Amino acid sequence: MKIVAIDYGLERTGLAACDDAGVLAYPLVTLRLADFADRKALLDALACRVRDEGAQAVVMGLPLLDDGTESLTTRQVRNVAQRLRRRLDLPFYWMPELLSSVEAEMDLREAGMKRHRRKAVLDQQAAVRILSSFLALPPRQRQPI
């Protein structure tokens, strides 16, 4: 099943996808809010990209605090997910994303990527981490929205 993962952020949003077999996750693109007229335009672009990928499901990274509680950012991501669901007739899932950006940064450093280039693809790599974690879960443990 083709799945797109979204690592939503207030400034940048990274996307990743997997192959049709649901085995290999790879980076797609980073969308910057500054490149759009407003958040609605960004959400429209996200929905368009998900459709263009032929996704059959969407995984949203859910930023929880270290103790598992929600923050303002968590509530913002939940709001974005609801707005995207109105644009896409697909199943949506949550995947906790604790440390995904930190781990993504380490992945990129280990790959020898220069600092300015890492910043450009960090959110995509975080989305890859989110999607890889999701794909590793048994289907019964996946949290639908």
Per-domain boundaries in the chain? 3-139
- pLDDT higher at 116 or 53: 53
DSSP string, 34-54: GGSSSHHHHHHHHHHHHHHTT
Please give the CATH superfamily to which domain 3-139 belongs.
Answer: YqgF/RNase H-like domain (3.30.420.140)
> What does the pLDDT average to over 77-91?
96
Stated pTM of the model: 0.85
Q: What is the mean pLDDT of the chain?
A: 87
Buried b (16+ CB within 10 A) or exposed e, 53-90: bebebbbbbbbbeeeeeeeeeeeebeebbeebbeebeb
Distances (CA, A) of 51 to 17, 62, 97: 12, 21, 23
Does the pLDDT at position 93 exceed 90? yes
